[in-house]
Structure 1
Amino acid sequence: MQTLTADEYAALSVRARSYRDARLKTLKKQSEYNPKLGVDALCFQRWQDDALGGEGLVGALITPCALSLVAIPEREMLQYSSDTLLLYLPSGHYRLQYCPLEGVAWYQRVILDNLRGIESMQEAAQLAQQLMERLMRPSE
């Protein structure tokens, strides 16, 4: 597990804004919509997995409606994108759905689909951190 550089997080922030811009109207229509939350990509790290074409990025996405696991394969995999990706993490296997995002092979799986009780982005970020800690810890 290797954390990202400031530049890599800046690039993820741009991708999160692109996600927000592309989907905000749809998110606002969902009954789970929480106006106290925004869209942010957090807790990303490099991860080795054949499904990612070797090394890719794995982390959490917060939206006003859900907390999701996200995987971004190596750039070379972009031309070979499939509808799903089976990701192997220490806690188990996770099937993620392809969500095209401005030239990035972005795969996502909703883990928690009701964030109405979350009062702030800080609280949501703590939840994302807990999620990633659990996903990156072997199942007992």
Structure 2
Amino acid sequence: MQALTPDDYARLQRLRERYHAAHAHAFKVSAGGNPRLSVDMLCFQPLGAALCGALITPLTLSLALVPPGDATAQAAGAQCTVALPGGRYPFIAEWIDDDSWLWRCELLDDLSDLSSLEEANRLAQRLMEQVMAAQADE
């Protein structure tokens, strides 16, 4: 597995902050939101020129693909399917603000039973291990 650069980490941190700012009100007013959780982006690794990892919010756990900075912007709601070692996943383009977007594949839409962000992070780590591990031949 290739390590992320300091610039990659800084980019993910900025994206996490923007995502939180853009959705903070929705997180607060949503009946299904887990108040013990916040936005976190973790377990990212290079996937071609993009970065692939987990996006945790108070509402969902998703796979996220962060395109390179010079990628052609996609319209909100555009769809693509990405083959990862653990299978094929359907992603939707999601704009965060006027300058930032990512591809997102929602995997869990109910995180209400998680007691802490640390527990959510452990779940995301297990998820990414499965997604990025090659499937055994049947």
User: What's the TM-score, normalizing by structure 2?
Assistant: 0.88
**2:50 corresponds to:** 56
> Shift of the alpha carbon at 1:10?
2.5
Tell me the secondary structure at the aligned position of residue 64 of structure 1. coil
Q: Is 1:32 aligned to residue 50 of structure 2?
A: no
In the alignment of these two chains, the number of paired residues is 133
As a proportion of its length, which structure holds more helix?
Answer: 1
> Equivalences for 1:1-140 in 2 at 5 Å?
1-48=1-48, 55-79=49-73, 81-82=74-75, 83-102=78-97, 103-140=99-136
> Shift of the alpha carbon at 1:15?
0.7
User: What's the TM-score, normalizing by structure 1?
Assistant: 0.87
> Shift of the alpha carbon at 1:62?
0.7
Provide the rounded CA distance (Å) in 1 between the counterparts of 2:72 and 2:2. 22
> Shift of the alpha carbon at 1:118?
0.8
Provide the rounded CA distance (Å) in 1 between the counterparts of 2:88 and 2:5. 27
Tell me the secondary structure at the aligned position of residue 71 of structure 2. helix
Provide the rounded CA distance (Å) in 2 between the counterparts of 1:22 and 1:105. 11
Long gaps (5+) in structure 2: none
What one-letter code is carried by the residue in structure 1 that aligns with 2:88? Answer: H
What one-letter code is carried by the residue in structure 2 that aligns with 1:15? Answer: L
**1:52 corresponds to:** none
Tell me the secondary structure at the aligned position of residue 78 of structure 1. coil
Provide the rounded CA distance (Å) in 1 between the counterparts of 2:7 and 2:123. 24
Query: Does 22-31 or 37-46 show the bigger shift?
Result: 22-31
What one-letter code is carried by the residue in structure 2 that aligns with 1:68? Answer: S
> Shift of the alpha carbon at 1:65?
0.9
Tell me the secondary structure at the aligned position of residue 46 of structure 1. strand
Provide the rounded CA distance (Å) in 2 between the counterparts of 1:122 and 1:6. 23
Identity across matched positions, percent: 36
Long gaps (5+) in structure 1: 49-54
Tell me the secondary structure at the aligned position of residue 117 of structure 1. coil
Provide the rounded CA distance (Å) in 1 between the counterparts of 2:6 and 2:32. 32
**1:88/1:94 contact within 8 Å kept:** yes
What one-letter code is carried by the residue in structure 1 that aligns with 2:61? Answer: L
